[in-house]
Amino acid sequence: MFITFEGIEGAGKGTAMERTSQWLDRQGRRTRLTREPGGSALGRELRALLLDREQSIEPEAELFLYLADRAQHVRQIIRPALARGETVLSDRYADSTLVYQGYGRGLDMAALITLQTLASGDLWPDLTFLLDLPPETGLERARARNKALGLERREGRFEAEDLAFHRRIRQGYLALAAQHPRFRIIDAGRSPEAVFQDIRLILEPLILLY
């Protein structure tokens, strides 16, 4: 089973994924935690470029770097893990491209879907958790975390975007979630424990099917 976690910056994806993977392990599932950008060796190099606040990257160049990251990630990490029967949990995937490069940067949605299909070999998640919260709260959390870890320059390119950008991202995610039944919207403004309990309740019946 291929599960993705999506949401604006500071939505708590990392914590939710850690808990979910520990729980899945306890259910006897072998899980693989991964992320985009940066799930493969080439992807880690691309991540450093993509998130560096000092880089000035044109929207089309940004798109192709994310797609290059995905092409490697799918073929070198995700598909082999799925073939071994593992449950793959990815921190961001294709929906991030549709939302950040589409709703955020204003690139054409139909072109994005065609290119994402090519880059991923038409691999889409079985299930997507959208950790939803107001951008004001998320940005505050993300900027505080980057500051505490000294990552403002190295990981701060998107955190430096204005509130209007992050509002478009949230609206984009909610619009996608309304179109695709694989989405589950989780209220991420609550405690990590409450967020995880919602995820567990959704996964419990599903893991019997996969």
At a CB cut-off of 8 Å and minimum separation 6, what does 65 contact? 37, 46, 49, 50, 57
6 lies in the binding site for ligand TMP (CB under 6 A): no
34 lies in the binding site for ligand TMP (CB under 6 A): no
Q: How far apart are CA 170 and CA 38, in angstroms?
A: 23
If you write DSSP's letter for every residue of 27-64 in order, what string do you get?
Answer: TT--EEEEESS-SSHHHHHHHHHHH-TT----HHHHHH
**135 vs 203 by CB, closer to ligand TMP:** 135
Plot region of 55 (φ>0 → left; ψ -120 to 50 → alpha; else → beta): beta
132 lies in the binding site for ligand TMP (CB under 6 A): no
Query: C-beta of 202: minimal distance to ligand TMP in Å?
Result: 22
Query: Which parts of the chain fold into alpha helices (H)?
Result: 13-26, 41-51, 59-73, 79-83, 94-96, 109-120, 135-148, 163-179, 192-206
Is the C-alpha dihedral spanning 167, 168, 169, 174 positive or negative? positive
**127 vs 172 by CB, closer to ligand TMP:** 172
**27 vs 179 by CB, closer to ligand TMP:** 179
Site string for ligand TMP, 161-200 (x = CB under 6 A): ----------------------------------------
Among 9, 40, 128, 188, binds ligand TMP (CB under 6 A): 9
Binding piece for ligand TMP, criterion CB under 6 A, among 97-105, 119-127, 128-136, 145-153: 97-105
Query: C-beta of 147: minimal distance to ligand TMP in Å?
Result: 14
List interacting residues with ligand TMP (CB under 6 A): 9, 35-37, 51, 66, 91-92, 96-97, 100-101, 158
